[in-house]
Every structure is written in C-alpha cells, then in structure tokens.
Amino acid sequence: MGRQSLSGGITPAGRSRIQFTFALEGVRYRPTLLIAPTDTNLRCAREQLIGIKARIAAGTFSFAEEFPDYTHMS
C-alpha cells in the first residue's frame, strides 16, 4: 500500500499560489493556481481537487480548461 497524503493533494506554493497534485493517465502533475493560500482558499482547492479526480475517473476531465496556463503537459 502507498503512503497516504496529509495535505489532500493541495499545498501552498509560496505566498501567492496553491499547488495541486494528482495523477492523470499514470503521470503525476503539479499545476498551480495564482490564489493566496488562505485557509478558506485551501479548503476550496481541496473541494476542487475532489471534482477533478471525479472527472478524471469519469473520463470527462479537460486539463486545458482547468489549468489553461499550465505549460508542462507531456
């Protein structure tokens, strides 16, 4: 069994960004959003990540729509 995440896949990335961590087609991605990592914003980001994972499972997730500024797609 793998290690359980303590952050829920959401971490602050400096003072002005929130970083998401999730896997898509076996590849780990760590995009960020330019949002201050306050408690409220981190909680909302966790809810957003739950939705992202549900859409990935359903096959309806669009990376370009969710993270339009992400440039490291493989």
Report the number of distinct structural domains present in the chain.
Answer: 1
- The reply to whether 53 falls in a domain is yes
Query: Could you list the residue range(s) of the whole structural domain that residue 14 is in?
Result: 10-66
Question: Global pTM?
Answer: 0.84
CA 55 – CA 38 distance, rounded (Å): 25
- The reply to whether 56 falls in a domain is yes
Residue that the structure tokens 């549900």 belong to: 54
CA 64 – CA 62 distance, rounded (Å): 5
- The reply to whether 4 falls in a domain is no
Q: What pLDDT digit, counting tens, does each position of 24-57 carry? A: 999 999 999 999 999 999 999 999 999 999 999 9
For residue 31, what are the contacts with CB-CB under 8 A and spacing of at least 6? 19, 20, 67, 70
- The reply to whether 49 falls in a domain is yes
- 72 falls in which pLDDT band (50, 70, 90)? confident
- The reply to whether 60 falls in a domain is yes
- The reply to whether 2 falls in a domain is no
- The reply to whether 71 falls in a domain is no
- The reply to whether 35 falls in a domain is yes
